[in-house]
Structure 1
Amino acid sequence: MMEKLVLIDGNSVAFRAFYALYSSLDRFVNHDGLHTNAIYAFKNMLDKILADFKPTHVMVAFDAGKTTFRTEKFADYKGQRAKTPTELLEQLPYLRKLLEAYGIKYYELVNYEADDIIGTLAKQGQDAGYEVVIVTGDRDLTQLVTDKITVAVTQKGVSEIEEYTPQHVREKYGLEPQQIIDMKALVGDSSDNYPGVTKIGEKTAVKLLSQFGSVEGIYEHIDELKKSKMKDNLVAEQEIAYLCKDLATIRQDAPITIEVADLLLTRPDQNALVTLYQELDFKRFLEQLLGQTQLDLQTQEQLADIAYTLLTEENVFELIEDAKKTQKLSFHLEMDNDNYHTALFLGFAFEVGAKHYASRNCELLQNPAIKGLLEDPVIKIDLFDAKRTYVGLRRLDIQMQGLDFDLLLVSYLLDTSDNDNDLGKLALQHDYHQMPSDEEVYGKGAKRQIPVEDEIFLQHLVRKTNTIAQLKPSLQEKLRSNCQEDLYLTIERPLALVLAEMEIAGIKVDQERLLTMQEEFKQRLTQLEEDIYCQAGEEFNLNSPKQLGVILFEKLQLPVIKKTKTGYSTSVDVLEQLRPMAPIVDDILSYRQLAKLQSTYIEGLLKVIFKKDSKVHTRYTQTLTATGRLSSVDPNLQNIPIRLEEGRKIRQAFVASKPGWEIFASDYSQIELRVLAHISGDENMQQAFKNDLDIHANTAMSVFGLSDPTQVTADMRRQAKAVNFGIVYGISDFGLAQSIGTTRKKAKEFIQTYFEAFPGVHCYMQEIVAKAQEQGYVETIFKRRRYLPDINAKNFNLRSFAQRTAMNTPIQGSAADIIKVAMIKMQKALKKEGLQARMLLQVHDELIFEAPKEEIAILEQLVPKIMDSAVELAVPLKVESAHGLTWFDTK
């Protein structure tokens, strides 16, 4: 089989990928705020290339910079091109990581373009007998086509490819491939910004080249041309024509330091792909990877067995006596999932001193002696994932006390960006190699199975308790050296138990209300369908983009905005552009929104209501985000859409669990901006909050140079709000321009004016970046750390993203810490006051409670008092509260 070399134009394909999913830019963002749309589309394109062309050798070429030998010859070469959006720049380093994980080489060369690298390697490959395919989004490379070199040009984003062979070039242009250079010399190239010869278009150029063969041939026979304006232009601009030909010519002799033989496609690094997909939040790719291939897990050395006692009713006293002597123990409870109602208990293990005990019989934990041991506040208990364990034990009617060390939490605090819920994998992160992962013992995916042999399964549980004990001293010392012991002891550890109580409590859902809403949505969808069919003049499948495209663009003759490989695009961004042109489009958008609410939230919630208590029991992940924010899962109650009226109404189904009770909610007002005012020390911003001004209107006055608040229009306030929150996230001029619908130039002016109005904020951003560059991390008010390994990277894109992260993390992380402190204090206050009220949910900056009606007046005083005083800032915290029969009524 002939070896095949595929050469990919990295910059060109990356741009195509970025704009292919540009309309979904805000949706493709990972948990750290990194945009991922280009990486996502590039990965799909890469898979298609490998599947379609089946190469033996692959290389991706990138531009090394804007300055090349061409700019030395023609200063304006590519001079008109807009600056690459920051949202794309920040993704380029991750494209390289993706390529490395795929086993694909990439290359760039100073003073040359990616085209020249490709041209040189294509010639090498051809001369060495390879079949060569060039993948690009730029037709300039079609000049390289030969019988052995095919140029595949991406079409319609990155989903389709047009293959250029010598015959295809002849049919499309009426030229030989090498004449493409001459055509560009005559016509010029607006993209690369060189002029060509005045008034010569593509048709004229093709005619001249068909007659004379090349630019040189034209000038050799220039006297044969009839007198005309075209001839005059050719004569006058001969030097320009030759210069343009030189600029258009892709070099095939660039001084590269690699050879085709170096480009052998190797096996993908599955572990590197898993790590990358996790970092980028590519859950679908991760599921595909783990479902299709067995990870090459690091082979563990044969570990010596740990001696343990099989715990029974008869020898329980041994465990109790040992625990009373040591006053401390390590404990692990193995469950098959985390949910309060559905988790199955599989086994447990203790380590007490040098002794180990284990059993599959979890009913033993309800033995009065063991139950008393776990509920004894004097006995210090060390474990992995306290919240999960606490919730599980409550199912067994055990209320664990004495929590001392939570390995998962401590590890998370030491490095928020590098944690795993698998004890074995987490242990490796701390250079401990005596703990196999669950995947190694149980398998994964469909092959996951708990071993039936006690000597395998119980040995694994015993090793978990031993690992907890072994890692505790070193990790505690790291906490102390990082000055994070107080963060663990006063916030994260007590919060774990607060969250556990909230998960156990759950929130009641009125199933009948949801069913009624389901029927109302169904009727509304039916009415919308009828209206749409009436306007269309026929019935069709509304959920078929192909059929919808025919109606909109063929029958109704609406302008075609974009096409896909299957026909017309009917994506949201396309429909939004068409909305003013036809009422049917507005109805289609409404139909889609309502259908999404129906399937994702109405039907989704109905599936997770537990029959025993008519509640949903969301779980809070405490160790997921790098900023310290909590996440809600199974179901995610933080993402119920509230911008749409129909979405807000879904909250009507969340009710108090008892008759005569109400839902009570309190929400921090603009907490991140208040934290920014505190951290930055900006006097103007602090004064605005102290005077209880509308911060967005106040910002609008500063940005637009107004003296009277009444001059601030709704649009001005909207733009100021976008600037305020954009600054918190280190927004670029490109991002702000997209957010407020203006030009990048105007957005840049907004940002500059903002910094002039709030100089303390500007100073903070500069100082926090400098501090991060010096120490390698940033911290919140409460010493929560986030390490930034790329803060001093030579790569501009990696460094820029790390700098924005440095600006944002102390703000977002401190806000997250403040509400955590408030939650802990609220739980204590509710108990101290002897109230029946209980905290049910945390949704971003909002706390939701339920309480008897007679306690509502108390909560109206107590909750704001606790939340306002959770931490003392340079500006006042502000809490807004409301109550009602449903969650909806609190807004």
Structure 2
Amino acid sequence: MSKKLVLIDGNSIAYRAFFALPLLNNDKGIHTNAVYGFTMMLMRILEQEKPTHMLVAFDAGKTTFRHSTFTEYKGGRQKTPPELSEQFNFIRELLDAYQISRYELENYEADDIIGTMAVQAEKEGFEVKVISGDKDLTQLATDKVTVDITKKGITDVDSYTPSFIEEKYGLTPHQIIDMKGLMGDASDNIPGVPGVGEKTAVKLLKEFNTLEHLLESTNKVSGKKLQEKLEEFKEQAILSKELATIHKEAPVKITFDDISYTGLNEKKVYELFKELGFNSLLEKIELTHSEEAVLEDIDYIIVDEVNDEILTNEVAIIIEVMEENYHKSEIQGFAIANENGAFFIPTEVALQSERFKEWAADESNRKTLYDGKRSTVALRWKGIDLNGVDFDCLIATYILNPAQSTEDIAAIAKSKGIFDVQTDEAVYGKGAKRCCPELNILAEHLVRKAISLQKLKGIYLDELKENEQYDLFKDLEMPLSLILADMESEGITVDVSRLKLQGRQIAENLNNLEKHIYELAGEEFNINSPKQLGVILFEKLELPAVKKTKTGYSTSADILEKLEKKHEIIKYILDYRQLGKLQSTYIEGLLKVVHEDTSKVHTIYNQVLTQTGRLSSTDPNLQNIPIRLAEGRKIRQAFVPSHSDWVIFAADYSQIELRVLAHIANDESLIDAFNRDLDIHTKTAMDVFHVGEDEVTSDMRRQAKAVNFGIVYGISDYGLSQSLGITRKDAGTFIERYLESFPGVKEYMTDIVQDAKQKGYVSTLLQRRRYIPEITARNFNVRSFAERTAMNTPIQGSAADIIKKAMIDMAFRLETENLKSKLLLQVHDELIFEVPKDEIEQLEKLVPEVMENAVELKVPLKVDYSFGPTWYDAK
């Protein structure tokens, strides 16, 4: 078996990682960017190099034997930033967790350890890979020793071999030392010969081969000034070469047996990643052993009949639905873990058992699940009610860290130190190869997932309480998931004939637009081809090209909008694109997902996706139907009640985010305006322009409205200038005046950013957190975006929490008052119901009452509502 040794310059790579990445923090405020970068580098090396032996060398101290020769060696270096210093212990912990040897030697540098080990390893028949950010180490390159030098960041490298060095410099690896002797090295304070740079040094060495030969032959050097420099600084050049020479016989006390690499300690790595907050890496680790090898044996029973031993009043249960669209998917099986053991129940056994159906429907039987909404809906399609969902590990994961991927139980289990379960991908395969395995494999996999849920529940309960997020979990997100399950199961009725009619009308409009475009272009072409369109616009019609890409002219929407006044063809093209998207995405897309049995679309609400807490919907996405275009709005005409004598009732919060801003910022002026029910945009225009109410023009109000909503998102002067079509200077002045008029808002914006920098996260009114590690980034753009996120999240997140609370309260009132009306959809700040005509009067009172009292703010919440025969008419 071939032997491969990887030698890493620990200090150099740590510095590279630190300065390559923004200043990240974990949730405890510990800086982690250097450790993160170092980890990424390690993972890449292990995957690509597959070493049999590995060593990371560190500098032992500030002084080495070189300082006795030249006291100013490495003098002038800036002090290590404390944000980096504090990470070295974690880097050492990381190496220990990966079971990678590390070594430092008093009076010597990491370079000397690496040089000594590289020479010995080559003699022992190893293939050697050296990794550093310091080009000094390229002198070690041989046919068996490759030196990887990081360029940008830590993953982009140049591999220095003798042939690479020959091609790059025309020198041998050993001549790198001579080159350093001549040109010096500012980073190490090696003086070299003043005025001699890399180009001159390379030229001289090509002619004279070595530094010593050059200095003996200075009279043969062309250029009198250079001759004089070489003579004057001869001793300094010799000293510089000596300083740059890596010591290859350092008294290293480790053997190759000491640095053999057999693989990481999986548990320690996961525990460290968990502590550091490296959630995205937890799933990416390539284990040195197979998944099967690390799984401990478990006892479980495959049952052919359910009984009281299995169906106890407290269980962790897996209801396995493989397909993303669980409305149409078959259930693969059930697994239960309880105090009596672990059990797998085949699908047909569960679905045919009246005892199972009774137990599932019994509220008093407490059930821990992973994605209870998915399980509830899947069972409901089989005619079985699932009640008593007491704890949902998916929701707990999301609340504790909304940025974490939550697709797989195995990944989140491992992040909590639980290693007894495989990923779904390992069991089912992926892509076209994804399929359900044989019964025994499926049974064991589902049982392991159920056991993991049992363990996770206790861990999550502690963390939720520690974060003061248990109420958010128990009182908001858990009951909401069941309401969403009801909404998904119920669906909303679609008038297919009306949708098809709209499709025909749009097709006709597209045909007419196509003719206009061809006429204005003077020829026919593929309008949907950016390349062909670019030629027409920028070559044939000679419009000014704003941006050119590798494949041709850019014809993106923002580019075309800037050209709209230059030629009438642009408006037709923009309309053509919008109508084309309406036709393909919404008309044809909706028709594909209308359920053949119910004539409804059953959108799936994703409760654990966004970091602000907002819901999103898929299959189909009913939250993004474009309503700015008349044709887009008309699509809502196809959404109708499920009964002919019912109506669609829509209610939405008025300016909820501005009201939340007034509350959180505690701005007296904003609070007063909302309490007096003033038009907030008119009020803002009055304050900013210093005019009376009767002097506010429509343009003033429009600008005030843009700032009001822009402020919520931390808008910049540039963003506002683009939005209003004014100069950046005027926009900046406008924002300044706004903040002067609303000092509470200004103070909030400053304080929330500082708070986020200290804590590493921001919170909503109901304690939903969003972690923002980028807020201390060195990169201005990254940091600015993070600051805007910090300003916006408490507002947008609190608004999302409020409507969720309203949905829960509304569902309770509909049930307790025995109303037939049903909540069908949530679209951002809007709730959509279907209502019998004889309940309209009750809903007109009930909906505003419930929604406006969902939470108590310093300003009143206000709800607008309307109703009609279709969703379109209810607006």
Q: Is the 8 A contact 2:675 2:859 kept in 1?
A: yes
Specify the alignment match of 2:265 in structure 1: none
* Pair 1:825 & 2:809 matched: yes
What displacement does 1:691 show?
1.5
Decide which of 734, 737, 740 is 2:724's aligned counterpart. Answer: 740
* Pair 1:345 & 2:331 matched: yes
Describe how 1:475-490 pairs up with structure 2 within 5 A: 475-490=460-475
What displacement does 1:614 show?
0.9
Cα separation, 2, equivalents of 1:433 and 1:622: 27
What displacement does 1:606 show?
0.9
Decide which of 399, 405, 408 is 2:394's aligned counterpart. Answer: 408
Cα separation, 1, equivalents of 2:797 and 2:132: 38
* Pair 1:312 & 2:304 matched: yes
Q: Is the 8 A contact 1:322 1:353 kept in 2?
A: no
Cα separation, 2, equivalents of 1:127 and 1:456: 51
Secondary structure, in 3 states, of the residue corresponding to 2:773? Answer: coil
Specify the alignment match of 1:849 in structure 2: 833
Q: Is the 8 A contact 2:650 2:874 kept in 1?
A: yes
Specify the alignment match of 1:443 in structure 2: 429
Tell me the TM-score normalised to structure 1 length.
0.66
* Pair 1:875 & 2:859 matched: yes
Cα separation, 2, equivalents of 1:311 and 1:127: 65
Q: For residues 781-818 of structure 1, what are the alpha-carbon distances to aligned partners after superposition, in whole Å with 9 as ceiling and x for unaligned?
A: 11112223344455555544433322222111111100
What displacement does 1:577 show?
2.9
Decide which of 730, 733, 749 is 1:749's aligned counterpart. Answer: 733
Q: Is the 8 A contact 1:348 1:362 kept in 2?
A: no
Specify the alignment match of 1:331 in structure 2: 317
Decide which of 670, 691, 696 is 1:707's aligned counterpart. Answer: 691
> Are the structure 2 counterparts of residues 748 and 513 from structure 1 closer, same or farther at C-alpha, using a change threshold of 3 Å?
same
Q: For residues 731-772 of structure 1, what are the alpha-carbon distances to aligned partners after superposition, in whole Å with 9 as ceiling and x for unaligned?
A: 222222222223332222222111111100111122222323
Cα separation, 2, equivalents of 1:835 and 1:609: 27
* Pair 1:615 & 2:607 matched: no
Gapped runs of 5+ residues in structure 2?
Answer: 1-129, 136-150, 153-157, 170-198, 200-239, 247-268
Describe how 1:686-697 pairs up with structure 2 within 5 A: 686-697=671-682
Decide which of 425, 429, 435 is 2:411's aligned counterpart. Answer: 425
What displacement does 1:540 show?
2.9
Q: Is the 8 A contact 2:310 2:340 kept in 1?
A: no
Specify the alignment match of 1:135 in structure 2: none
Specify the alignment match of 2:165 in structure 1: 128
Aligned amino acid, residue 845 of structure 2: Q
Aligned amino acid, residue 417 of structure 2: D
Percent identity reads 52
Q: For residues 362-392 of structure 1, what are the alpha-carbon distances to aligned partners after superposition, in whole Å with 9 as ceiling and x for unaligned?
A: 4523411111111122211111111111111
Gapped runs of 5+ residues in structure 1?
Answer: 1-102, 109-113, 116-120, 133-177, 179-252, 260-270, 283-289
Specify the alignment match of 2:420 in structure 1: 434
Q: Is the 8 A contact 1:671 1:877 kept in 2?
A: yes
Higher deviation after alignment, 562-571 or 692-701: 562-571
Secondary structure, in 3 states, of the residue corresponding to 1:580? Answer: coil
Q: Is the 8 A contact 1:340 1:395 kept in 2?
A: no
> Are the structure 2 counterparts of residues 566 and 404 from structure 1 closer, same or farther at C-alpha, using a change threshold of 3 Å?
closer
Decide which of 691, 699, 706 is 1:722's aligned counterpart. Answer: 706
Aligned amino acid, residue 831 of structure 1: E
Specify the alignment match of 1:539 in structure 2: 524
Decide which of 750, 762, 766 is 2:750's aligned counterpart. Answer: 766
Q: Is the 8 A contact 2:496 2:638 kept in 1?
A: yes
What displacement does 1:873 show?
0.4
Q: Is the 8 A contact 2:317 2:367 kept in 1?
A: yes
> Are the structure 2 counterparts of residues 258 and 829 from structure 1 closer, same or farther at C-alpha, using a change threshold of 3 Å?
farther
Describe how 1:1-80 pairs up with structure 2 within 5 A: none
Cα separation, 2, equivalents of 1:715 and 1:810: 30
Aligned amino acid, residue 512 of structure 1: S
Cα separation, 1, equivalents of 2:639 and 2:288: 44
Cα separation, 2, equivalents of 1:702 and 1:432: 58
Aligned amino acid, residue 438 of structure 1: D
Q: Is the 8 A contact 2:674 2:680 kept in 1?
A: yes
Cα separation, 2, equivalents of 1:351 and 1:294: 28
RMSD, aligned α-carbons: 3.5
Cα separation, 2, equivalents of 1:356 and 1:375: 21
What displacement does 1:695 show?
1.4
Q: For residues 332-360 of structure 1, what are the alpha-carbon distances to aligned partners after superposition, in whole Å with 9 as ceiling and x for unaligned?
A: 10012253531111111111213111133
Specify the alignment match of 1:111 in structure 2: none
Specify the alignment match of 2:656 in structure 1: 671
Q: Is the 8 A contact 1:346 1:362 kept in 2?
A: no
Cα separation, 1, equivalents of 2:474 and 2:574: 50
* Pair 1:500 & 2:493 matched: no
Decide which of 759, 782, 786 is 2:766's aligned counterpart. Answer: 782
Specify the alignment match of 2:208 in structure 1: none
Specify the alignment match of 1:575 in structure 2: 560
Q: Is the 8 A contact 1:560 1:568 kept in 2?
A: yes
Q: Is the 8 A contact 1:125 1:131 kept in 2?
A: no
Cα separation, 2, equivalents of 1:354 and 1:429: 27
Aligned amino acid, residue 432 of structure 2: A
> Are the structure 2 counterparts of residues 518 and 390 from structure 1 closer, same or farther at C-alpha, using a change threshold of 3 Å?
same
Moved over 6 A (4+): 103-108, 121-127, 293-298
Secondary structure, in 3 states, of the residue corresponding to 1:399? Answer: coil
Q: Is the 8 A contact 1:339 1:617 kept in 2?
A: no
Give the greater-gyration-radius structure (CA). 2
Secondary structure, in 3 states, of the residue corresponding to 1:847? Answer: strand
Aligned amino acid, residue 516 of structure 2: D
Secondary structure, in 3 states, of the residue corresponding to 1:358? Answer: strand
What displacement does 1:625 show?
1.1
Q: Is the 8 A contact 2:648 2:874 kept in 1?
A: yes
Aligned amino acid, residue 705 of structure 2: K
Describe how 1:162-561 pairs up with structure 2 within 5 A: 299-300=290-291, 301-313=293-305, 316-317=306-307, 320-321=308-309, 323-324=311-312, 327-339=313-325, 341-452=327-438, 454-561=439-546
Q: Is the 8 A contact 2:302 2:343 kept in 1?
A: yes
> Are the structure 2 counterparts of residues 539 and 804 from structure 1 closer, same or farther at C-alpha, using a change threshold of 3 Å?
closer
Q: For residues 201-241 of structure 1, what are the alpha-carbon distances to aligned partners after superposition, in whole Å with 9 as ceiling and x for unaligned?
A: xxxxxxxxxxxxxxxxxxxxxxxxxxxxxxxxxxxxxxxxx
Aligned amino acid, residue 414 of structure 2: L
Cα separation, 1, equivalents of 2:645 and 2:740: 54
> Are the structure 2 counterparts of residues 562 and 768 from structure 1 closer, same or farther at C-alpha, using a change threshold of 3 Å?
closer
Cα separation, 1, equivalents of 2:758 and 2:532: 58
Cα separation, 2, equivalents of 1:833 and 1:338: 36
Specify the alignment match of 1:804 in structure 2: 788
Cα separation, 2, equivalents of 1:450 and 1:124: 49
| Alignment: residue pair count | 626
Q: Is the 8 A contact 2:756 2:775 kept in 1?
A: yes
Cα separation, 1, equivalents of 2:845 and 2:693: 32
What displacement does 1:306 show?
1.8
What displacement does 1:322 show?
5.2
Secondary structure, in 3 states, of the residue corresponding to 2:419? Answer: coil
Decide which of 643, 649, 652 is 1:658's aligned counterpart. Answer: 643
Cα separation, 2, equivalents of 1:450 and 1:788: 39
Q: Is the 8 A contact 2:310 2:343 kept in 1?
A: no
Cα separation, 1, equivalents of 2:777 and 2:559: 39
Aligned amino acid, residue 847 of structure 2: V
Cα separation, 1, equivalents of 2:445 and 2:870: 46
Secondary structure, in 3 states, of the residue corresponding to 1:889? Answer: coil
Q: Is the 8 A contact 2:304 2:346 kept in 1?
A: no
Cα separation, 1, equivalents of 2:832 and 2:779: 45
Cα separation, 2, equivalents of 1:615 and 1:296: 46
Q: Is the 8 A contact 2:295 2:419 kept in 1?
A: no
Aligned amino acid, residue 714 of structure 1: S
What displacement does 1:457 show?
1.1
What displacement does 1:494 show?
0.4
Aligned amino acid, residue 128 of structure 1: I
